[in-house]
Amino acid sequence: MNQTARIISIYAADTSGVCSALYEYGGMTVIHDASGCNSTYTTHDEPRWYDKKSMMFISGLTEKDAVMGNDDKFIDDLVIAANELKPAFIALCASPLPAMIGTDLDAIAYAVESETDIPSFCVKTNGMNSYIYGAGNAFLDLAKRFIDKNMSHKTDRLKVNLLGLTPLDFPKTEYVNSLKSFIKESGMELNASIGMETSLIDIQKIADADVNLILSSSGKLLADYLFEEYNIPFVKGVPYGIKFSEHIKECLYKAGAEKINIDATKSLREEGSTAILGESILSASLASAVLSDYGIKANVLETVGDGDFDVLKPFDLSCDDEKILEGELEKYECIIGDPLFKPICKNKKFIALPHEAFSGRCFTKNAPNMINRKIEIF
């Protein structure tokens, strides 16, 4: 039966995706929620919470305010907090109950902006979609609000944006540093790192890039927008391993020169007896990397149920149902996935690859860095 799981975990929701995407931009992000969303996000979905300040709050919705439709209370509370904390912007998103009672967060954002003169907007969520949906829309809404197309500079090097970076897919700063090194060592210039190790200036100058590197499905909506509006092409793929990283480098130069979008994983996939579970772009990239470096043929079992399905091959599968997934996994000899999938991978060789969006902080300490280096999970 779908929507049901006996023993496996569940992916982070859209509200966490929004907060994660907007975390470092100096704004105030508020989930319209009674209680729980903030604790869940800051405990399990946000490794930056202890060491890096960000204005992440909930509204504290009550039964009475929900029943009576008392939006004025929420507006007043937003204005009071914003006047004290002076955020660069105010972003609102909804948990299930406001979505259920039809709270008009766009109107609330408009009212708050009118009152405070602080740019305010709503990111569409309902607590029932995946983190990819929330983060993707948050990046897009933030960019639409803050892109400055006049910000440009000239350089001989290829200017690259890193898109789709959130700790839900890249939980350690070390990964971002490796990506930055990869760009630099490839003779390119990092134009903007979007989501982590970033600031609002990165968003403002994002249209100054020659090419976007989409590192996860959370960056796809923004990449599409930048292609349509600013003719900036994108390359999809995470530079895992040695040979695949080199391939991504070539793809970036090619995309920049020819103004074409490239799926770097496309030509480096073959059907195999290994299954990689997880988010589509990360998993397809790993499949391409292990094929390139070790000749291991792996299929992707996309398990979020959301994201960029274009990277999937006919032999891949998108499945967010525990029972069906368990049946599918019986076909494979080896499974690479988050440790919380292990209970449904009985009698199989299981290689643990922690994914923050699935198991939170449980196994972060064991998550390997595979970016632009030898993959050592086998």
Q: Which stretch binds other proteins (CB under 8 A): 123-131, 171-179, 206-214, 227-235?
A: 123-131
Single residue of 52, 62, 104, 346 touching other proteins by CB under 8 A: 62
Single residue of 22, 176, 340, 370 touching other proteins by CB under 8 A: 340
| Residue pair 360/49 in contact by the 8 Å Cβ criterion | no
Q: Which C-beta is closer to other proteins: that of 63 or that of 156? A: 63
Calpha distance 199→300 (Å, rounded): 34
Site for other proteins contains 362 (CB under 8 A): yes
Tokens 């979008």 identify what position?
Answer: 261
Residues 295-334, one symbol each (x = binds other proteins by CB under 8 A, - = not), give ----------------------------x-----------
Give Cα 342 to chain centroid, integer Å.
Answer: 23
Q: Which C-beta is closer to other proteins: that of 5 or that of 242? A: 5
Calpha distance 90→33 (Å, rounded): 16
CA distances from 323 to 52, 228, 358 (A): 39, 40, 17
Q: Quick check: helix, strand or coil at residue 60?
A: coil
Q: Which stretch binds other proteins (CB under 8 A): 49-57, 111-119, 229-237, 262-270?
A: 49-57
Site for other proteins contains 88 (CB under 8 A): no
Which two structure tokens, joined as six digits, stand for 332?
A: 């494979």
Calpha distance 275→283 (Å, rounded): 9
Which two structure tokens, joined as six digits, stand for 47?
A: 């490794």
| 201 phi and psi angles, rounded to 5 deg | -60, -35
Nearest to 256 by CA among 278, 235, 285: 235
Site for other proteins contains 59 (CB under 8 A): yes
Rounded least distance, CB 338 to other proteins, Å:
10
Calpha distance 71→217 (Å, rounded): 33
Rounded least distance, CB 9 to other proteins, Å:
5
Site for other proteins contains 12 (CB under 8 A): yes
DSSP per-residue letters across 96-130: HHHHHHT--HHHHHHHHHHHH-S-EEE----SSSB
- Binding residues with other proteins: total (CB under 8 A): 67
Site for other proteins contains 40 (CB under 8 A): yes
| Residue pair 219/164 in contact by the 8 Å Cβ criterion | yes
Site for other proteins contains 68 (CB under 8 A): no
Site for other proteins contains 245 (CB under 8 A): no
Calpha distance 116→197 (Å, rounded): 28
> Within a 13 Å sphere around the CA of 65, how many CA atoms are in the beta-carbon half?
18
Site for other proteins contains 16 (CB under 8 A): yes
Which two structure tokens, joined as six digits, stand for 274?
A: 């290994």
Q: Which residues pair with 215 in a beta bridge?
A: none
Rounded least distance, CB 143 to other proteins, Å:
24
Calpha distance 275→351 (Å, rounded): 10
Which two structure tokens, joined as six digits, stand for 109?
A: 């954002």
Site for other proteins contains 80 (CB under 8 A): yes
Q: Which C-beta is closer to other proteins: that of 254 or that of 323? A: 323
Q: Which stretch binds other proteins (CB under 8 A): 128-136, 188-196, 246-254, 291-299?
A: 128-136
Rounded least distance, CB 34 to other proteins, Å:
4
Residue 168's CB: how many other CB atoms inside 10 A?
30
Single residue of 22, 58, 135, 160 touching other proteins by CB under 8 A: 58
Site for other proteins contains 61 (CB under 8 A): yes
Which helix (H) or strand (E) element contains residue 257? helix 243-258
Single residue of 241, 336, 363, 375 touching other proteins by CB under 8 A: 363
Single residue of 64, 153, 154, 374 touching other proteins by CB under 8 A: 64
Site for other proteins contains 34 (CB under 8 A): yes
Rounded least distance, CB 203 to other proteins, Å:
22
Rounded least distance, CB 67 to other proteins, Å:
8
Contact positions toward other proteins, by CB under 8 A?
1, 3-16, 30, 34-40, 42-45, 49-50, 53, 55-64, 66, 76-78, 80-81, 84-85, 95-97, 99-101, 126-130, 323, 340, 343, 359-363
